[in-house]
Structure 1
């Protein structure tokens, strides 16, 4: 008797920066320009510590480097500069757009779960050919940023699905920590940071060639493993 294929996830929850679009260089450029405009020197090491972090933390670090602006103004300015760069060129991560589209065609609900502000998240979403995101959870709609699980739990609640039946896709340790704590099955996609010890259920080098059925298989395996260890 042939076994049936694993069920598709109840939803797929996507991180944005570094996962769907490779905006980290854009953020780093915007940060460097802002710090230097105040006579400071921004470093690559400092920029790397902010990968996956909430913009509130980024603003505090900018202030420590001499930027004499209120945190909210820093967040808005950095976001605007990154959006301008995205408008000139959308830096899709390999396989992301194709997987977004395939999931949409299969009827799988998808959420954008990002610590960027809402207007930037919607800006990026607007470049996806289809209206693939059923909801957007951004930094300005949660009280606690990643690595707290609030953003992922909010996405699942908004979609009306059990977080345990979802797959989250992340590229940073901070994001993986958030998704794991929420109870989702988590796929870490290597980019700027090594995710081998991040706690992700699976760590892949790319999303290129990945299909909705691949995500279904991961979810089934993760839930089977969890049941056996319970």
Structure 2
């Protein structure tokens, strides 16, 4: 879903970094605890139990996958009903307080000031994505791709493929070789990497399994556009 009011980058030499694709939950905002509590509350409403281990299995997964797991835990609602119930619980907490991840807003602001288009690629629903995007300055995101827009969610490449195709229609000459993706989970990182994007993992709730080929940062705090440019350059070099 393209968002209005975003300036098109000016003509000139091709930049090293043409665009950045962002995950939402756990990357821009620390909402994973909100989702975990929402899952526990919903399962508990129907007399079931839901552990932290159960919840951690769902981090980064598509919401329809999560809904089916909650059905197995005893929630007698259709998939759409479970997604709606979870989303409303999480949205209510976000309205009360937006739990920004360290460095995320600052990096988004720097990219916006430099006219680097950003897209949000999340398995959350459109209303939730728009709720968070609305807490940032107008123009921060060029478009949003949300869970209901794809048949196959993360870890499949479809969400990032769709986001790239939509952004490419807005930004002439957009190349995957000049784009970066920021993720916190293994499903998300796998999705972005499979779509052909230079991805960086910034783990939060769950540590990622060791992989010497993966570029990984401890935090976004202190990270700048230059770091993303170096990420893209390193990825292009490794791909040769």
Give the TM-score taking structure 1 as reference length.
0.93
Count the aligned residue pairs: 222
2:91 to 67, 75, 83: 83
CA RMSD of aligned residues (A): 1.4
What is the aligned partner in structure 2 of residue 101 from structure 1? 109
- Alignment partners' CA distance in 2, 1:42 and 1:172: 21
2:201 to 177, 188, 204: 188
- Give the C-alpha shift of residue 200 in structure 1: 6.5
Q: Which consecutive residues of structure 2, in runs of 5 or more, have no partner in the other structure?
A: 1-13, 169-173
- Alignment partners' CA distance in 2, 1:205 and 1:64: 34
- Alignment partners' CA distance in 2, 1:199 and 1:88: 40
What is the aligned partner in structure 1 of residue 63 from structure 2? 55
Alignment of 1:92 onto 2:82: no
SS of equivalent to 2:189: helix
SS of equivalent to 1:221: helix
Q: Which consecutive residues of structure 1, in runs of 5 or more, have no partner in the other structure?
A: 1-5
Alignment of 1:177 onto 2:185: no
2:132 to 124, 139, 144: 124
- Give the C-alpha shift of residue 143 in structure 1: 1.3
Deviation track 1:73-128 (CA, whole Å, cap 9, x = no partner) reads 11011001100000111000000000001000000010000000111111111111
- Give the C-alpha shift of residue 192 in structure 1: 1.3
- Alignment partners' CA distance in 1, 2:213 and 2:219: 14
What is the aligned partner in structure 2 of residue 145 from structure 1? 153
Deviation track 1:169-226 (CA, whole Å, cap 9, x = no partner) reads 0000000110110010010002112225368741000000111111101111110121
- Give the C-alpha shift of residue 130 in structure 1: 3.5
